[in-house]
Amino acid sequence: MGKLKILPAQIANMIAAGEVVQRPASVVKELLENAVDAGASQVSVVVTDAGRTLIQVIDNGCGMSPVDAVLCFERHATSKISTAEDLEQIRTYGFRGEALASIAAVAEVTLRTRRPQDETATEVQVGAFGEVKTATVAAPSGSNFSVRNLFYNTPARRKFLKSDPIEFKHILEEFTRVALTRPEIAFSISHNGRDIYVLKKAKSLKFRVLDLLGSNVAGDVVDLAAETSVVRISGFVGRPDTARKTPGNQFLFVNGRFFRSPYFHKAVMKAYEEMIPDGVTPAYFIFLETDPRSIDVNIHPTKTEIKFEDDSVIFQILYACVKETLGRNSFGASIDFNTEGAVPLPQLGRSFEQYKDVGMPVIETDPGFDPFHTGDSPAPAEAMPGLGRHIDRREDYGRLFEEKTLPLGRILILQGKYILTPAASGLMIVHIGRARERILYEQTLRTLARSGHVTQTALFPVQVRVGANCRLLFEDNADMLARLGFDITPLGTDTVVVNGVPEGYSCESGKVEQLVEDLVLILSEERESLPELMQQRLAEKFATLGAAHAGPLSSPQEAQRLIDTLFAGDNAELTPGGRRIVHIIPLGDIEKKF
Ligand SMILES: Nc1ncnc2c1ncn2[C@@H]1O[C@H](COP(=O)(O)OP(=O)(O)O)[C@@H](O)[C@H]1O
Ligand SMILES: [Mg+2]
């Protein structure tokens, strides 16, 4: 072993930066929190290239003196605590005095800052190797941090950054968390010159949620409130029927600080037990207030985990409070398991569970169906044992195709879910929803590959307030949506208008909002960088969406067309997700029953 050395400050800071600055979003978080701690009433964030090129945060807070403007980049320079007791009762976001030192170790930082009482502002530039330049300049009161070329000196870290949309998504998450805790502060954020959010000072948290997440989230929540000696709880929880398969909009805060807690998440989920199906998560915005001395915010460098002295007590209170709120609004009773005309197992949307269970089958009669007519019965010779197997393996697919080429004169639609029809070796059962999924998948892939258009059904225009960020999703994907048969145009800053949907989508008015929500989920997914993979994934998503939003089959003719299209395609056997579309019950099995 060599001799001991004390690391130069710059290198020590770079190592420490690894903990604090994991990605551009970490910088946004730290700078936003500092601006809030500085008492700002207005904070703007400017981002270029998802933060790789520039992250700028401008506030109108207390500003810094010329001396502090330099000092703030030193490690352990903080104005927020000075004694051990202070550490016990932190009310600010920051207190470690690490963030700016860490950021300046892995990026080029320029600060301009002025206190309201000072005549002139100070500019501090921290360049490569911690080199500091200062100047006296003119600037508005407050602070303006510009962070350029993040990770310029740590190429490994730079290489591990994800695509711009993913990194920017993380930035927006941090922005949202801070904006939610401070409705009284005006926040804005722009990306590559485009305004993403411009949030005015809001009257209350509910208005902030409305501005941030749109009316389809804010409109579906109920108020939460409880006051005990240990904790005060406020905020909102989502209605059970709006719980989603993709988690998102689950927020826990304590004393105004966002934190993660699988434990308290469980308390919330437990309160929803039996009101929501497995695998979905309700939205919630829960604010806890406790004595700062009873929590330890110090256990994690990025400070999203927090230790609670009374965590099991708070668990019980939280559980009881959410449960009581849900009970008071009697959601338990309002869940409707109606299955009529429903499409089975759509993957998206709030309603999927209501299709799951069916009870006694009801047979829909086909007016043209004659149960005594035997003309289409397969000849006994065709019911040979070898042919009478379930079609389980891929190589059997050829046989399935041959079976379909026999005359298929009789069609029965069972419960809107299955098509039953005779096949050479037995009874063929086609799962309607899955067949649609398969057909739509291939159709969508074709449409995405060439520049074809899918025909459209016009609607009475329906306006849906989706929030500024989601409105941008529709704008960014306008071309693709149009090709797939959606006519959706942005309106104002946070609303979209649906004028048309692809042919075959249910036109029932209430369904459109749900459709828009489902589209948001699809469009906001992390995107693959390989175009073919992305097209496949998109096609899968749109296929599930289309199947979920399809109206019921209206006639045996339509069922026949569905079967014909299914078998004309590439693979009639499995959905793109690998689920079985067609079963044949062998004649032998049927005979065994008698
Ligand atoms: N936007 C700002 N306005 C005024 N002062 C600031 C601002 N950002 C940082 N500071 C000062 O710089 C110090 C160091 O900031 P930081 O490294 O984030 O540490 P911490 O927030 O943990 O104190 C803060 O304690 C504060 O005094
Ligand atoms: Mg800080």
CA–centroid distance, residue 49 to ligand 2 (Å): 23
Which residue's entry shows tokens 């797939």?
Answer: 484
367 token code pair: 């007016």
Q: What is the pLDDT of residue 534?
A: 66
- Round to whole Å and give the CA distance between 224 and 246: 23
Q: Which atom of ligand 1 is closest in space to residue 92's alpha carbon?
A: 21
Residues contacting residue 128 through CB under 8 Å, at least 6 positions apart: 108, 152, 153
CA–centroid distance, residue 111 to ligand 1 (Å): 12
Strands (E), 436-581: 456-465, 487-491, 495-502
Q: Which atom of ligand 1 is closest in space to residue 63's alpha carbon?
A: 4
**In the 8-state DSSP scheme, what is residue 381?**
G
The SS3 assignment for 312 reads: helix
174 token code pair: 């941090």
CA–centroid distance, residue 78 to ligand 1 (Å): 6
Q: Which atom of ligand 1 is closest in space to residue 93's alpha carbon?
A: 21
Q: Which of 21, 31, 34, 71 to mutate to test the pocket of ligand 1 (most atoms within 8 A of CB)?
A: 34
The SS3 assignment for 235 reads: strand
State CA 551 to chain mean position distance. Answer: 26
Q: Whose CA is nearest to atom 7 of ligand 1?
A: 34
CA–centroid distance, residue 553 to ligand 1 (Å): 63
Identify the nearest ligand to the CA of 78 by its number: 1
Type of residue at 144? N
Q: How many CB atoms lie within 10 A of CB 332?
A: 11
190, β-bridge pairs: 46, 195
The SS3 assignment for 67 reads: helix
- Round to whole Å and give the CA distance between 410 and 369: 7
Q: Which atom of ligand 1 is closest in space to residue 97's alpha carbon?
A: 19
Long-range contacts of 263-270 (CB under 8 A, 24+ apart): 263/311, 263/315, 264/311, 264/314, 264/315, 264/318, 266/315, 267/315, 267/316, 267/318, 267/319, 267/322, 268/237, 268/318, 268/319, 268/322, 270/319, 270/323
Q: Which atom of ligand 1 is closest in space to residue 78's alpha carbon?
A: 25
CA–centroid distance, residue 99 to ligand 2 (Å): 5
Identify the nearest ligand to the CA of 80 by its number: 1
Q: Sign of torsion, CA 450 452 457 462?
A: positive
Q: Whose CA is nearest to atom 24 of ligand 1?
A: 78
Which residue's entry shows tokens 């990306």?
Answer: 191
Torsion angle (degrees, nearest 10) of CA 387, 390, 395, 398: 60
- Round to whole Å and give the CA distance between 187 and 25: 16
Q: What is the pLDDT of residue 528?
A: 58
Q: What is the pLDDT of residue 532?
A: 66
What would the DSSP string read from start to end of 123-179?
EEEE-GGG-EEEEEE---SEEEEEEESTTTT-HHHHHT---HHHHHHHHHHHHHHHH
Q: Whose CA is nearest to atom 11 of ligand 1?
A: 72
189, β-bridge pairs: 45, 197
Q: Whose CA is nearest to atom 25 of ligand 1?
A: 78
CA–centroid distance, residue 569 to ligand 1 (Å): 62
Q: Which atom of ligand 1 is closest in space to residue 103's alpha carbon?
A: 17
- Round to whole Å and give the CA distance between 370 and 374: 9
Q: Which of 31, 71, 72, 75 to mutate to test the pocket of ligand 1 (most atoms within 8 A of CB)?
A: 72
Kind plus residue range of the DSSP H or E element containing 451: none
Kind plus residue range of the DSSP H or E element containing 353: none
CA–centroid distance, residue 12 to ligand 2 (Å): 18
Kindly provide the b/e burial profile for residues 412-429, where b requires at least 16 CB atoms within 10 angstroms of the residue's own CB.
bbebbbbbbbbbbbbbbb
46 CB-contact burial (10 Å; exposed 0-12 / middle 13-18 / buried 19+): middle
Strands (E), 385-479: 412-414, 418-423, 426-431, 456-465
**What are the Cα distances from residue 164, in Å, to 30, 49, 52, 160, 308?**
20, 6, 9, 12, 36
CA–centroid distance, residue 79 to ligand 1 (Å): 7
Length, in residues, of the chain: 594
272 token code pair: 């929803």
Long-range contacts of 205-211 (CB under 8 A, 24+ apart): 205/180, 205/234, 205/235, 205/236, 205/285, 205/287, 206/236, 207/183, 208/179, 208/180, 208/183, 209/180, 209/236, 209/285, 211/467, 211/468, 211/494
pLDDT digit string (tens) for the chain, length 594 residues: 678 877 777 777 777 777 778 899 999 999 999 999 999 999 999 999 999 999 999 999 999 999 999 999 988 788 877 777 777 777 777 777 889 999 999 999 999 999 999 999 999 999 877 789 999 999 999 999 999 999 998 888 888 888 898 899 999 999 999 999 999 999 999 999 999 999 999 999 988 988 888 877 887 889 999 999 999 999 999 998 888 877 778 999 999 889 989 999 999 999 998 888 888 899 999 999 999 888 887 666 566 788 898 899 999 999 999 999 998 876 643 333 333 333 332 223 222 232 223 233 333 333 333 333 333 333 333 333 333 333 333 434 444 444 444 444 588 888 888 998 888 788 889 999 999 988 888 888 887 777 667 777 777 888 888 888 788 888 888 888 888 888 898 888 888 999 888 877 776 767 788 888 888 877 877 665 556 666 777 788 788 888 888 878 878 888 888 888 888 877 788 888 778 888 888 888 888 888
CA–centroid distance, residue 183 to ligand 1 (Å): 21
Residues contacting residue 557 through CB under 8 Å, at least 6 positions apart: none
Q: How many CB atoms lie within 10 A of CB 190?
A: 16
Q: What is the pLDDT of residue 492?
A: 81
Residue 438 and residue 575 in contact, taking contact as beta carbons nearer than 8 Å: yes
Q: Which atom of ligand 1 is closest in space to residue 30's alpha carbon?
A: 18
Q: Which atom of ligand 1 is closest in space to residue 34's alpha carbon?
A: 8
**What are the Cα distances from residue 93, in Å, to 37, 60, 90, 100, 552?**
7, 17, 8, 14, 54
Q: What is the pLDDT of residue 42?
A: 98
Pocket of ligand 1 (CB under 6 A): 30, 34-35, 38, 59, 61-64, 72, 77-80, 94-100, 143
Q: Which of 55, 78, 93, 145 to mutate to test the pocket of ligand 1 (most atoms within 8 A of CB)?
A: 78
Identify the nearest ligand to the CA of 141 by its number: 1
109, β-bridge pairs: 126, 147
Output the pTM of the full model.
0.62
